[in-house]
Amino acid sequence: MKQYLTILFFLIFFIHLFFSLQGIDHTLLHRHSFRQTQTAISTYYTIQEGYQIAYQTPVLGKPWSVPMEFPTYQWIVAFFTKLTGLNLDFVGRTVSLFFFYLSIYFLYKTIRIFNETANSLVLILLIMCSPIYIFWSRTFMIESLSIYLSITYIYYFIRSLTYISFKSMFLASLIGILAGITKLTTFAIFLLGAYFYFIYCWILETDKFSRKKLFLYLLYFIFFFIVPIMFTTIWVQYADYLKNQNPLAIDLLTSKSTISWNFGTLDQKLSLETYKTISEFYLPVIIGNWLSKIYYIPIIVLVILFFSNRINFLLSLLFLFLFLSGPLIFTNLYLVHDYYYYANSIFLLLFIGNLFSILISIKKYHLNKIVFFIILPFLIFNQLKTYYKIYYPLQLKNDTEILSLKQIIKENIPFNSIILIYGHDWNSEIPYYIQRKAIMDRKALDLKDSSMKKSIELSGKENISAVLISGENSQDLKFVQERIDFFQLESGAVYNGRYGKLYIKNKDIILKK
């Protein structure tokens, strides 16, 4: 049976790799390109201007640093891009894929502490075939790195508790710091799981407690929880400090201004529509279309585990809770972005995998063989089919129209110039691909507005060599003329396409700068 699962694992690995490589050289302009290009532009300017903790995401004017996460992923991608000389988009995707495979390895090692090889491989197979872990593992995003760090934190955390290893304790603490500052919303779920497991171990040790044991657990608590949380808090405060220097970011990106965006509202948390959205769209991309429609599966799993294995029952409750904790805590983020499920889907798959652990141990009526040779292949096929239907078409899409805009910019605007952009929120797509820093005015503010005026002054009015206007404002002649006059632009648009109308400064004026 082990040999069969090993063969199946390598087959699934190559299927995962094959699908992941499809469209790997395409532009990043498909699902959630907003977030992908935001990560990519920070990486691009790391390559151009060096490694900085106050790294640049130049889309909201000066000062260019408006950090969301610590640039762990960006620095790694920048390093390998400079080392290999390969295309940045390709390297970003490849690094992301590499960390997914590395996270699978550490997840397997973690599961093996408690489980047999066969059980562990079944759990790994369900994760590798999940549509969400095929598609998002090969995007230019921090998701796979953040889950790798979180899983590695859990691995050393469990090793430290199991074998009383101070080396593992220090490693868990250091990796926990990195996981927290790299992506707090991912690490928070794993930290919650670690906390419950820590309490469980504490309760088991209650009868044997001594002063030495109490000191050890207090030391564990400090290194496992307090230290990572403390460093993450320092990073968030530092990031807020940098954002507060930017007049266009103060009311948009600071932790205080994004509370409702991150956590959602009470109405969202209590709304049946929220959970309907989760079950109808997000569950299929985790466990496949067919399985997602059987809503009573969690009850079946818990009933079977309750009567067969109390430890597995408690573990399954924890897995289910950790899966639900993502959308319960960060409700709005999980409603708007399917890639946020990259952080918590692993726990739903572990929840289902726990049932498999019970079934494959039952040899009566050849139940274990039915699970291995019929049910498991069927579930894998269903997951792959769902991925092929929902995500695969997105990978084949290669939107290259922005490259024509890039060419016009390249021919007319110096590399060190700034472009003022209207009608694209603070989406990094255009600034990233045209390779120019930008002031993105998401509210179409009056040029005399205090925050806009300050942003132009900081960036330097003379450095703004082009204005791109899209949407309703591009049809507002007064709005357009005001900016032509203010920035001394040519009256005719040199580009009029999907991304709006582009007005540039007279080349003679640019040369005089």
Boundaries of domain holding 63: 31-80+400-513
Q: How many CB atoms lie within 10 A of CB 275?
A: 13
Residue 13 lies in a domain: no
Residue 131 lies in a domain: no
Residue 465 lies in a domain: yes
- Out of 228, 257, 286, pick the residue that ends a domain: 257
For 22-71, where are the alpha helices, taking DSSP H only?
33-49
Residues 69 and 149 in one domain: no
Residues 166 and 75 in one domain: no
Residues 241 and 163 in one domain: yes
Residue 159 lies in a domain: yes
Residue 111 lies in a domain: no
pLDDT score recorded for residue 487: 95
Cα(503)–Cα(466) distance, integer angstroms: 6
pLDDT score recorded for residue 301: 66
Residues 69 and 157 in one domain: no
Residues 413 and 488 in one domain: yes
Residues 167 and 252 in one domain: yes
Q: What is the dihedral of CA 266, 269, 270, 275, to 10 degrees?
A: 160
Residue 432 lies in a domain: yes
227, 178 Cβ separation under 8 angstroms: no
Residue 107 lies in a domain: no
First CA to last CA distance, the chain: 73
Residues 247 and 172 in one domain: yes
**Along the 513 residues of the chain, how does pLDDT read in single tens digits?**
678 888 999 999 999 999 999 999 999 999 999 999 999 999 999 999 999 999 999 999 999 999 999 999 999 999 999 999 999 999 999 999 999 999 999 999 998 887 766 678 888 999 999 999 999 999 999 999 999 999 999 999 999 998 888 999 999 999 999 999 999 999 999 999 999 999 988 888 776 667 778 888 999 999 999 999 999 999 999 999 999 999 999 988 999 899 999 999 999 999 988 888 888 888 889 988 877 666 666 676 667 666 666 777 788 889 999 999 999 999 999 999 999 999 999 999 988 887 777 777 666 667 778 878 888 888 899 999 999 999 999 999 899 999 999 999 999 999 999 999 999 999 999 999 999 999 999 999 999 999 999 999 999 999 999 999 999 999 999 999 999 999 999 999 999 999 999 999 976 555 555
pLDDT score recorded for residue 288: 87
Residue type present at position 78: A
Residues 150 and 253 in one domain: yes
pLDDT score recorded for residue 115: 72
Instruction: Specify the 3-state DSSP secondary structure of 362.
Output: coil
pLDDT score recorded for residue 485: 94
- What's the domain count of the chain? 2
pTM: 0.93
User: In Å, how far are 188, 257, 277, 329, 447 from 268, measured between CA atoms?
Assistant: 20, 18, 11, 11, 37
Residues 155 and 64 in one domain: no
- Out of 239, 257, 275, pick the residue that ends a domain: 257
172, 222 Cβ separation under 8 angstroms: no
Residues 52 and 153 in one domain: no
Cα(120)–Cα(140) distance, integer angstroms: 29
- Out of 215, 239, 257, pick the residue that ends a domain: 257
Residue 103 lies in a domain: no
The residues, any chain, with a CB within 8 Å of residue 88's CB and separated by 6 or more, are 40, 43, 44, 47, 77, 81
User: In Å, how far are 284, 375, 387, 499 from 15, measured between CA atoms?
Assistant: 19, 19, 12, 37
391, 135 Cβ separation under 8 angstroms: yes
Residues 497 and 408 in one domain: yes
pLDDT score recorded for residue 353: 82
